Homo-oligomer: A and B are copies of this chain.
Amino acid sequence: MKGSEGRKARRKALEELLRRDPFLTDWQLADQLGVSVATIRLDRMALAIPELRERARIIAAGTYSEVKALRGEEVIGDLVELNLGRDGTSVLMVTDQMVFSRSQIMRGHHLFAQANSLAVALVDSDLALTKTAQVSYRRPVKLGDRVMAKAAVTAVEGYRYQVQVNSFVRDELVFSGEFVVVDVAGKGGAKVD
């Protein structure tokens, strides 16, 4: 039982235990696997598994930076082109914080955020707010993809702007949406041809 097969099995079990609950101390792991704490430490070293505190820190940092990724900057993504009141383009690289870890498919609200923030940015106003939106997800977007959102104002009615946004990955339409943005500040430089 103390051969290298037993060790392999134990290490597999160790990984499984930590996958299910990363907040176990070495002592608890040792107890569950019926070996000493020293063995657990050796196993962790061999498997390059960090200590409990580090694991917690990594998980926390991961979910924390996700909030940051969706932070209220000017525009979500990089603004490539912007003609106020008319059209604009932004590009967003899909990082691993934006995807479902299991499938590596981008979570919908990030695509929405890119489009929404671009639509709002198009309106030349101190304060523009989204009123309504109808969006459609055409194709899954994956980790590593480069999403290009192209937005254009399609209609202006007083303070109401209608903005059409289409997002592409390698020239393939992955998302489209129609946003109604309201210029609340009122002194918009509304221009539409």
Residues of B within 8 A of A133 (CB): 108, 112, 133-136
Secondary structure of the A contact surface, majority rule: mixed
Contact between A64 and B74 (Cβ–Cβ < 8 Å)? no
Asked if A131 is at the interface (CB within 8 A of a chain B CB), the reply is yes
Q: A59-B63, A72-B99, A74-B100 are in contact. Are A130 and B108 (CB under 8 A)?
A: yes
Asked if A7 is at the interface (CB within 8 A of a chain B CB), the reply is no
Contact between A137 and B127 (Cβ–Cβ < 8 Å)? no
CA–CA, A61 and B110, complex, Å: 20
> Considering only CB atoms and an 8 Å cut-off, how many residues of chain A contact the other chain?
54
Contact between A97 and B72 (Cβ–Cβ < 8 Å)? yes
Residue of B nearest to A113 (CB): B109
Q: Which of A113-137 contact B (CB under 8 A)?
A: 113, 116-117, 120, 126-127, 129-137
- Say which residue of B99, B113, B136 sits within 8 Å of A112 (CB atoms): B113
- Say which residue of B56, B100, B105 sits within 8 Å of A60 (CB atoms): B56
Residue of B nearest to A127 (CB): B103
A115 to nearest B CB, angstroms? 8
Interface string of A61-87 (1 = CB under 8 A from B): 111100110111110100000000000
Residues of A bordering B, CB below 8 Å: 20-23, 53, 55-64, 67-68, 70-74, 76, 96-103, 105, 107-110, 112-113, 116-117, 120, 126-127, 129-137, 140, 184
